[in-house]
Amino acid sequence: MDKTQIAKDIRGAIKSGKLDAVRDLLVKEPEMLTWMTPFGTWLHTAAAYGHLEIIEYLFNAGIDTNAQGGTFSTNALERAAIKGHLDSVEYLINQNVEIDTSEPDRNPLFAAIYGGHFEIVKLLVENKIDISIKYSGDNMKDMDAYAFAIERGQTEIAEYLKQRMDVKE
């Protein structure tokens, strides 16, 4: 079987949450663990679909946990945050996956705000993500997480971030 078909089979198994199928495919083709899809690594895919048991398996199999991939070269933590998978975000943080704040598109806090995932915002803040970092670019000027939450209409998140900013000062 060619690698492209195997990759499609692995992606399909991950999307469907079929851990046994993922395991079987990667045991038969171990080099596929490092395969990079247009969406990122298999860890990106598992994080985006919130399949914690597959995320755990991939960690134990030795996947690169901080690999960047996908459209914005993000890591799996950003994928889980934007999709609202709290248990996956918590696991990834506990496994010391990098909290990448180098760009707004990579920042899991901005991803959680964008998706309206308040519990993930709180988890990230509790884990010391920098809420004061400001970004400027084509679509934003000196925008921090609070301003981004306001812009996105996430008033509950904005109020929480404002309180946290006031505590830091």
pTM of the model: 0.93
From 104, 95, 150, select the one nearest 127 (Cα to Cα): 95
Which amino acid does the sequence have at 90?
Answer: E
pLDDT greater than 80 at residue 168: no
Q: Does domain 3-120 sit in CATH 1.25.40.20?
A: yes
pLDDT tens-digit series, residues 49-85: 999 999 999 999 999 999 999 888 899 999 999 999 9
Q: CA 102, 105, 108, 112 torsion: positive or negative?
A: positive
Domain-wise residue ranges, the chain: 3-120
Neighbouring CB atoms inside 10 A of 43's CB total 28
pLDDT score of 137: 87
Mean pLDDT of 124-143: 94
pLDDT score of 167: 74
Query: pLDDT class for 22, splitting at 50, 70, 90?
Result: very high
pLDDT score of 169: 56
Indicate left, alpha or beta for 62 from its phi (over 0: left) and psi (-120 to 50: alpha).
left
pLDDT tens-digit series, residues 81-128: 999 999 999 999 999 999 999 999 999 999 999 999 999 999 999 999
Tell me the DSSP string of 19-46: HHHHHHHHHH-GGGGG--BTTB-HHHHH
* Mean residue pLDDT across the chain: 95
pLDDT score of 73: 86
pLDDT tens-digit series, residues 146-156: 999 999 999 99
pLDDT tens-digit series, residues 42-51: 999 999 999 9
